[in-house]
Amino acid sequence: MSLKVLIVDDEPLARARLRTLLGDCKSPTAMVEGEAANATQAIEALRRQHFDLALLDIHMPGADGLTLAQTLRTLPDAPAVVFVTAHAEHAVQAFELEAADYLTKPVRLERLQTALQKVERATQARRGFKADEPEEVLIIQDRGRTERVPLSQVLYFKAELKYVTVRTAAKSYILDGSLSELEERYRAAFMRIHRNALIARRAVRALEKHFDADEGDGWAVRLNGVDELLAVSRRQLAAVREVIAS
């Protein structure tokens, strides 16, 4: 298998060295899918896409690597964590955070290869476990019926007065609940594009200029499976562009 890796280190040279070492690893192979210079950038990258592994430096400006690792544990589908640091004194804390490994700089290729193999085994075990889990569904009351709607079929959630519209390619449903609760629960698969809408990341097809009678000139997103356009707020515009470009 090939592991998707996020490198988090405030030193560009350290990130470059890790990228080179990862390119020399043979089994498993590792693809560097993202880099971050601090915890904030790392969280943004993880919300945009899935990574199998995060290589974390510990001493960084702002939130350090240990704090970042604690945050990662709260995310759905969180990556495995391997600390890569010049300081050995944090090893106990690192393993209390269930890190897969702890590497000290300068990193040797053999040690990095061993760490990747640990992550590979854990990832394969996790994927095998998830394959046996039932697909997540929404339980929706619809005109006297109770329906199970697979989350994988949902294209968007849209707040409408006191309820939320759930849209699939085939049908619309009405769900009791709040958009904020849905965003928190399904953050990995859905993103907010407006104060009243969440869209499935996988369904994004295009971003288009759009005129809205209430908000004037702006932008809207087009999704696979439905014809309607959904307005994108200026605040969320950059995030939508990143999803399209990824």
Residues 124-175 have pLDDT tens digits of: 776 665 545 566 888 888 777 788 888 989 999 999 888 999 999 888 999 9
Question: CB within 8 A of 68, min separation 6: which ones?
Answer: 8, 39, 42, 43, 56
Higher pLDDT, 26 or 119: 119
At what angle are helices 39-48 and 237-245 packed, to 10 degrees?
Answer: 60
* 121 and 33 in a common domain: yes
Residue 38: which pLDDT band, with cuts at 50, 70 and 90? very high
Task: Count structural domains, the chain.
Answer: 2
Mean pLDDT of 232-238: 90
* 98 and 205 in a common domain: no
pLDDT, residue 139, reads 87
* 159 and 126 in a common domain: no
Residues 82-118 have pLDDT tens digits of 999 887 788 778 778 888 999 999 999 999 999 999 9
**Which among 171, 169, 176, 177 is positioned nearest to 223, based on CA atoms?**
169
pLDDT, residue 128, reads 61
3-state SS class at 189: coil
Q: Give the residue from 131, 159, 174 where a domain finishes.
A: 131
* 163 and 121 in a common domain: no
**Measuring CA to CA, how many Å separate 207 from each of 55, 130, 177, 210, 223?**
33, 33, 28, 9, 9
pTM of the predicted structure, to 2 decimals:
0.53
* 69 and 99 in a common domain: yes
* 119 and 16 in a common domain: yes
- CATH number reported for the structural domain that contains residue 61 in this entry: 3.40.50.2300
Mean pLDDT of 185-207: 91
pLDDT, residue 243, reads 81
Domain that holds residue 169: 137-245
The listed range with the strongest mean pLDDT (91-105, 206-220, 226-240) is 226-240
* 163 and 122 in a common domain: no
Main-chain dihedrals φ then ψ at residue 175, nearest 5 degrees:
-125, 135
Q: Give the residue from 131, 164, 184 where a domain finishes.
A: 131
* 26 and 116 in a common domain: yes
Residue 49: which pLDDT band, with cuts at 50, 70 and 90? confident
pLDDT, residue 127, reads 64
* 69 and 182 in a common domain: no
pLDDT, residue 227, reads 87
